[in-house]
Amino acid sequence: MYRPQNLRIPGPTFVPQAVLAASARPLINHRGPEFAALLAALTRALQDFLRTEHDVLLLTASGSGGMEAAIANTLSSGDKALVFSCGAFGERFAAIAKSYGVDARRVDVPYGRAVDPELVRDELAKEKGKEGAKAVLVTHNETSTGVLNPVKDIATVVRDSGKLFLVDSVSGAGCSELEIDEWGIDVCITASQKAWGAPPGAAMVTMSPRAWKAYEKSNLPKSYFDLAAYKAALEKAQTPATPAVTVFIALQESLRLMAEEGLEAIIRRHQNLARATRRGLQAVNLQLFADERHASPAVTAFRPPARVDARNLIRILRDDHDTIVAGGQGKMEGQLVRVAHLGFVTLQDIVSFFSALELTLRDLNQPVEPGVAISATLRAYAEGASPPAARPAARAAARPPADAVATRR
């Protein structure tokens, strides 16, 4: 039986048919002119989306590999680093640093809360006069709890301290505001299978001039993740080792689709869908996990109903409704459900999710009137997509003048 899945996990995200088809093109020589053109175009497109003129280096790895590259290329053994963590991926960032002998001190914020820029300021103030941290590490979008950290404000604090600023934006870039150059982010990591809607296999790492200076002093071993080798190879439009060619081709196609929509529209769509999702969940009395002021545009975490194991709810969604969501990670296992609205996601996907969730809740003997969550979702989306008062004017403004249309033809 044909049973398409509604893949609502925070990566791998749904990959459009056009992107899948691109990934299935015949292989090409990774040392030839076609790949050179591909890599140059990809790099330029990523710089545009990441709002940076820094180097953007494409690794054949998952986002975790990119996080490792960020650390191994800028720090040395024994260096101190401050890691602000509010979930599993903050913990992972610290663990990677520690595995390389970096003296990483983790400052934890309770799960579901965001990292407060004032906390960062206080922790940095404690270091005055001491040989303090060389770098500050922060997760942009904490996928495990559904929190978007205020990186813009944190960046202001970190910039004042003069320390290196390493940001894991694996699941934040491409779906939320991120101004790498303007905010002064030295190293930023993202990955193909998140907002970019391509298959997993490519990690992207940006390096500022300051990061390259840190590279010169870094003594951590690096070979596969040696970013200077990537930069040197990029000057010949190549990669040091064989890249995941089909993933790169797919990524180029997904970036093309994203460019058609435009980054601002993409960010607005994510905000709208995230808010609509939260309203739908609240309409069926499910408790949101994250502080709403810092709710993630990529993924929403919620508690299962009382006396329901999240794993059971997730299993019913999957087995009976072909709707694939994520559970809690680490110590949150069984206690959280995470539904993603990341990448090429539409209102229809969210409505489909809620149709599955409403029926699942009834299976679990929860008092749910069918359609309640969906109605709330649609209402919230309609409000966010175009406020009724502003609508006619906005439409008129969006319509190109007649001669512009003529020119386009």
Cα separations in angstroms, 2 against 5, 295, 298, 402: 10, 35, 28, 45
Q: Tell me which DSSP letter residue 344 carries.
A: S
Piece of 107-115, 244-252, 277-285, 350-358 that binds a copy of itself (CB under 8 A):
244-252
Sequential DSSP letters for 359-393? HHHHHTT----TTHHHHHHHHHHHHHHS-GGGHHH
Contacting a copy of itself (CB under 8 A), which of 46, 50, 52, 68? 68
Contacting a copy of itself (CB under 8 A), which of 154, 180, 187, 220? 220
Give me the least distance between CB of 244 and a copy of itself, in Å please: 4
Mark 323-342 with x for binding to a copy of itself (rule: CB under 8 A) and - for no binding. -x-x----------------
- Burial code (b: 16+ CB inside 10 Å, e: under 16) for 43-60 equals bebbbebbbbebbbbbbb
What token pair was written down for 204?
Answer: 């992207």
96 binds a copy of itself, rule: CB under 8 A: yes
7 binds a copy of itself, rule: CB under 8 A: yes
What token pair was written down for 154?
Answer: 């944190």
Give me the least distance between CB of 226 and a copy of itself, in Å please: 7
Owner of token pair 């003997």: 365
Task: State which residue, 174 or 243, has the beta carbon closest to a copy of itself.
Answer: 243
The Cα–Cα gap between 156 and 136 comes to 12
Contacting a copy of itself (CB under 8 A), which of 148, 180, 188, 191? 191
Contacting a copy of itself (CB under 8 A), which of 54, 63, 113, 183? 63
Beta bridge partners of 317: none
206 binds a copy of itself, rule: CB under 8 A: no
Contacting a copy of itself (CB under 8 A), which of 113, 222, 338, 341? 222
Task: State which residue, 192 or 377, has the beta carbon closest to a copy of itself.
Answer: 192
Outline where DSSP puts E strands in 86-176. Answer: 103-108, 135-139, 141-142, 147-148, 164-168
36 binds a copy of itself, rule: CB under 8 A: no
Cα separations in angstroms, 16 against 13, 247, 251, 266, 349: 10, 13, 11, 15, 13
Cα 280–chain centre separation: 22
Q: Tell me which DSSP letter residue 286 carries.
A: P
Piece of 25-33, 113-121, 131-139, 375-383 that binds a copy of itself (CB under 8 A):
25-33
85 binds a copy of itself, rule: CB under 8 A: no
Give me the least distance between CB of 102 and a copy of itself, in Å please: 9
Task: State which residue, 211 or 317, has the beta carbon closest to a copy of itself.
Answer: 317
The Cα–Cα gap between 308 and 210 comes to 50
Contacting a copy of itself (CB under 8 A), which of 117, 146, 243, 328? 243
Among residues 198, 177, 185, which one has the least CA distance to residue 137?
Answer: 185
99 binds a copy of itself, rule: CB under 8 A: yes
Give me the least distance between CB of 88 and a copy of itself, in Å please: 12
What token pair was written down for 187?
Answer: 């190293």
Contacting a copy of itself (CB under 8 A), which of 3, 4, 129, 407? 4
95 binds a copy of itself, rule: CB under 8 A: yes
382 binds a copy of itself, rule: CB under 8 A: no
Does the N-terminal peptide bond of residue 12 adopt cis geometry, omega within 30 degrees of 0? yes
Contacting a copy of itself (CB under 8 A), which of 210, 318, 322, 379? 318
Residues forming the site for a copy of itself (CB under 8 A): 4-5, 7, 9, 11-15, 20-21, 23-32, 60-65, 68, 72, 95-96, 99-101, 191, 193, 199-201, 220-226, 240-247, 318, 324, 326
